[in-house]
Amino acid sequence: MDDLFHPLRVEVFPESGLIAPEQSTNRTARHLSDMRGMYQDTQATEAMIAAADPLLYQLYSADIPDAVPHLLFGTTILYPGKVGNEYFMTRGHYHQVENTAEVYYCLRGSGYILMERRDGQVSAHALERGQTVYIPPGWAHRSVNVGDEEFVFFYAYPGGAGHDYEAFDALGFRNLVVEREGQPAVVPNPRFG
């Protein structure tokens, strides 16, 4: 059926990250309760979930088949905030199909893109409006909002790539982004010992 898919144009609003028209768009929302165990400060996590279970981020994706040979795209809106001293972040994932890349283009705010490979190589790039990061095949990726407004970026990756979250169940990413003396700092994750 894929060859019956029609060309599509949508509007991406850089301030809000919304994509119009709505019927061409899917929305996903992640709250703190979807990320239990991922922040170092488990007490702060539970207290925040009990108080209000904040919305951490939303994704808008264009309604395109998630299969080869399509290119999936959309926006991520990551809200400002912290759990303990760790900034709000996405879950982070490898692609199930390792031989697939991704690109992020920042529309608003400021963040970090943490990346790492299964062999232990790590990378961290600050990302601000107008800047792009390329996520090569084999690199897991997590985004972190270090500003005081929404961090909004456009993403695109191959259909069928899939998301593999399991690698991070036990220890998380090798680097954390924390606030130190009022500034964001990329530090090693102490769970790696």
155 binds, options ligand M6P, Zn ion, none, Cβ within 5 to 8 A by partner type: ligand M6P
d(CA 50, CA 62): 33
Query: How many residues touch ligand M6P (CB under 6 A)?
Result: 9
129 binds, options Zn ion, ligand M6P, none, Cβ within 5 to 8 A by partner type: none
Q: Compare residues 102 and 150 and give the one whose CB is closer to ligand M6P.
A: 102
User: Of these, 31, 70, 91, 117, which contacts ligand M6P (CB under 6 A)?
Assistant: 91
Cα–Cα distances in angstroms (integers) from residue 87 to residues 48, 63, 167, 183, in the given order: 14, 30, 21, 11
Both structure tokens of 47: 């207290």
Rounded-to-10 torsion of CA 155, 160, 166, 167:
-70
Q: Rule CB under 6 A: which of 125-164 touch ligand M6P?
A: 155, 163
Name the residue among 24, 145, 163 with its Cα closest to residue 88. 145
180 binds, options ligand M6P, Zn ion, none, Cβ within 5 to 8 A by partner type: none
Shortest distance, position 170 Cβ to Zn ion, whole Å = 20
Q: Compare residues 112 and 155 and give the one whose CB is closer to ligand M6P.
A: 155
Name the residue among 187, 82, 103 with its Cα closest to residue 153. 103
CB 108 within 8 A of CB 117: no
What residues make contact with Zn ion under the rule CB under 5 A?
102
What residues make contact with ligand M6P under the rule CB under 6 A?
59, 76, 90-93, 102, 155, 163
